[in-house]
């Protein structure tokens, strides 16, 4: 089993400027940012403030357009991993957002046209009570995933697919746990690659709160068998309220990042976990053959670059990293009601 002791990593990074501070930039007032890079290299960010879903964009990761209102949804979630999600399609952008009533709404945008009106994508009304959703797209294929309370007890994993850039949606069950429920308050993750859809989630089997991955070969119509990530298990009588993230690496494999008992791990399906550090809310980016990780540790935004260099970016929580080109990536996060960003060399 490839579990690398934390002491080893402490020694490995002791020569690095762990407390190095970059120059964070305030993008806007708000929280829970999500970011996507389109095919032309433009960055797009969705975030929340109050009942408003907001949007801004950038061509270089340094200068952002003035924030624009996408929609006002009473009771929209924009806290605790429950924020607007954004994805880039062949012809434009899609945003999803959930509200406290348990519904998920989508909006799409084409070029300079305004954002579309809200469309509810969960077929069964008020079944996404936790508001924990994720969104991904590739070409015209879009997929949203969430925790559904349609069952009498517990929650199962549900999804909605679109093959027309987010205009129309079809619902389907992704996974139903044999122990009646998946982990109730951990955000699932989804990634679309061509017609293949990958979904990662925290399960609850025999009292273990372990991460699992499941995939579909046909745009999310059908899903195969869920596979546990990592070799060890986490028996926990409670919900850790922490999901994770994953990215397709240069070999076409889904490399994941997730938390167990306050430690951050990375793993590949069928392989043992590798310890990265302490913290929670891990995210990962794999681009141009390079992999980077980010997470939160004691209120600090940590970024680990290819080769193991570990940076303390700033104070905050819930970071997301996105490669812009072969040389640089951007990290966005929230802190004290503000959305921040920082450019980092790959």
8 Å CB contact between 84 and 72: no
What is the reported pLDDT for 150?
Answer: 73
Residue whose C-alpha is closest to residue 161's, from 75, 111, 89: 89
DSSP 208: B
Those residues with Cβ within 8 angstroms of residue 323's Cβ, 6 or more apart along the chain or in another chain: 37, 285, 287, 288, 290, 292, 329, 346
CA distance 144 to 161: 7
The DSSP code sequence of 28-65 is EE-EEEEEEE-TTS-EEEEEEETTEEEEEEESSSS-BP
Q: Residue 10: which region, alpha, beta or left (left: phi > 0; alpha: psi -120 to 50)?
A: alpha
Query: Cα dihedral sign for 129, 196, 174, 229?
Result: negative
Q: Where are the domains of the chain?
A: 6-345
Those residues with Cβ within 8 angstroms of residue 53's Cβ, 6 or more apart along the chain or in another chain: 46, 47, 69, 70, 71, 72, 73, 76, 84, 95, 97, 107
3-state secondary structure of 189: strand
- C-alpha distances in angstroms, 73 versus 51, 78, 98, 285? 5, 11, 9, 31
pLDDT tens sequence for the chain (346 residues): 334 333 333 333 333 433 444 689 999 999 999 999 999 999 999 999 999 999 999 999 999 999 999 999 999 999 988 999 999 999 999 999 999 999 999 999 999 899 999 999 999 999 999 999 999 999 999 999 999 987 656 789 999 999 999 999 999 999 999 988 999 999 999 999 999 999 999 999 999 999 999 999 999 999 999 999 999 999 999 999 999 999 998 888 999 999 999 999 999 999 999 999 999 999 999 988 899 999 999 999 999 998 899 999 999 999 999 999 999 999 999 999 999 999 999 8
What is the reported pLDDT for 11?
Answer: 33
CA distance 319 to 202: 19
The partner residues of 48 in beta bridges, in order of sequence, read: 31, 53
Rounded to the nearest angstrom, the gap between the alpha carbon of residue 183 and the centroid of all alpha carbons in its chain is 17
What is the reported pLDDT for 58?
Answer: 97
What is the reported pLDDT for 152?
Answer: 59
pTM metric for this prediction: 0.92
**What Rg, from alpha-carbon coordinates, does the chain have?**
19
Q: How far apart are the first and last CA of the chain?
A: 29
CA distance 162 to 208: 33
Beta strands in 139-267 (DSSP E): 141-148, 156-162, 170-175, 189-193, 196-202, 211-216, 227-228, 244-248, 254-260, 263-267
Q: Which fold has domain 6-345?
A: Neuraminidase (2.120.10)
């Amino acid at each position: 089993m490839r579990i690398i002791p934390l002491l080893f990593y402490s020694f490995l990074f002791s020569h690095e400027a762990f407390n190095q501070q970059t120059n964070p930039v305030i993008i806007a007032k708000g929280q829970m940012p999500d970011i996507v890079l389109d095919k032309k290299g433009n960055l797009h960010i969705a975030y929340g403030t109050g009942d408003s879903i907001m949007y801004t964009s950038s061509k270089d990761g340094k200068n952002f357009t003035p924030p624009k209102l996408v929609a006002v949804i009473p009771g929209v979630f924009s806290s605790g991993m429950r924020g607007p999600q954004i994805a880039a399609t062949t012809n434009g952008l899609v945003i999803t957002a959930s509200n406290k009533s348990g519904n998920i709404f989508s909006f799409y945008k084409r070029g300079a046209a305004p954002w579309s009106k809200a469309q509810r994508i969960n077929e069964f009304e008020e079944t996404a009570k936790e508001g924990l959703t994720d969104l991904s797209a590739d070409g015209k294929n879009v997929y949203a995933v969430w925790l559904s309370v349609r069952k009498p007890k517990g929650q199962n994993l549900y999804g909605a697919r679109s093959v027309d850039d987010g205009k129309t949606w079809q619902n389907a069950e992704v996974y139903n746990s044999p122990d009646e429920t998946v982990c109730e308050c951990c955000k699932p993750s989804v990634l679309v690659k061509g017609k293949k859809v990958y979904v990662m989630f925290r399960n609850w089997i025999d009292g273990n709160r372990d991460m699992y991955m499941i995939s579909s070969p046909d745009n999310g119509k059908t899903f195969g068998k869920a596979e546990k990530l990592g070799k060890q298990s986490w028996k926990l009588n409670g919900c850790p309220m922490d999901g994770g993230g994953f990215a397709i690496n240069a070999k076409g494999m889904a490399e994941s990042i997730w938390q167990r008992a306050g430690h951050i791990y990375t793993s590949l399906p069928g392989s043992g976990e590798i310890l990265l550090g302490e913290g929670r809310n891990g995210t990962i980016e794999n681009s141009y053959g390079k992999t980077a990780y980010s997470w939160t540790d004691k209120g600090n935004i940590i970024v680990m670059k290819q080769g193991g260099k570990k940076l303390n970016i700033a104070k905050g929580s819930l970071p997301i990293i996105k490669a812009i080109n072969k040389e640089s990536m951007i990290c966005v996060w929230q802190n004290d009601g503000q959305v921040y960003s920082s450019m980092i060399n790959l």
